[in-house]
């Protein structure tokens, strides 16, 4: 009897380009929504958003609009107070 290990999700270049487009769009919205944020944390925040994006995509969300909406909604409304996004 063997154990089940899910296959690692793989993406082709078109998929990766579309996911990058979603990330860029959400990042622009984030920057606009929080202009007074601590920009020293931008790389960390963007990396967290990228990880969440791949989690959502790997969970079967294929609609780009749904990916974008879920990623935007994952950012706390009070981000300026919380100053962190958890995966």
* Domain count along the chain: 1
Decide if 50 is inside a domain: yes
Report the Cα 80 to chain-centroid distance in Å: 18
Distance CA 81, CA 11 (A): 36
Full pLDDT tens readout for the chain, 87 residues: 566 555 557 888 999 999 999 999 999 999 998 888 889 989 999 999 999 999 999 888 778 999 999 999 998 877 654 455 554
Domain-located, residue 1: no
Is 25 contained in some domain? yes
If residue 22 lies in a helix (H) or strand (E), which one and from where to where? helix 13-33
Residue 5 lies in a domain: no
In order of 15, 28, 38, the CA distances from 81 in angstroms are: 34, 20, 11
Q: Considering the entire predicted model, what is its pTM? A: 0.78
Domain span at residue 63 reads 13-82
**How far from each other are the two terminal CA atoms of the chain, in whole angstroms?**
33
Name 51's Cβ contacts closer than 8 Å, sequence gap at least 6: 87
Query: Domain for residue 24, yes or no?
Result: yes
Query: Does residue 2 lie in a domain region?
Result: no
């Amino acid at each position: 009897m063997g154990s089940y290990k899910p296959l690692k999700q793989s993406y082709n270049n078109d998929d990766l380009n579309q996911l990058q487009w979603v990330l860029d769009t959400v990042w622009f919205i984030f920057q606009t929504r929080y202009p007074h944020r601590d920009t020293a944390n931008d790389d960390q925040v963007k990396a967290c958003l990228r990880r969440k994006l791949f989690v959502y995509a790997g969970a079967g969300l294929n609609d780009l609009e749904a990916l974008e909406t879920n990623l935007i909604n994952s950012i706390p409304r009070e981000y300026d107070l919380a100053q962190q996004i958890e995966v």
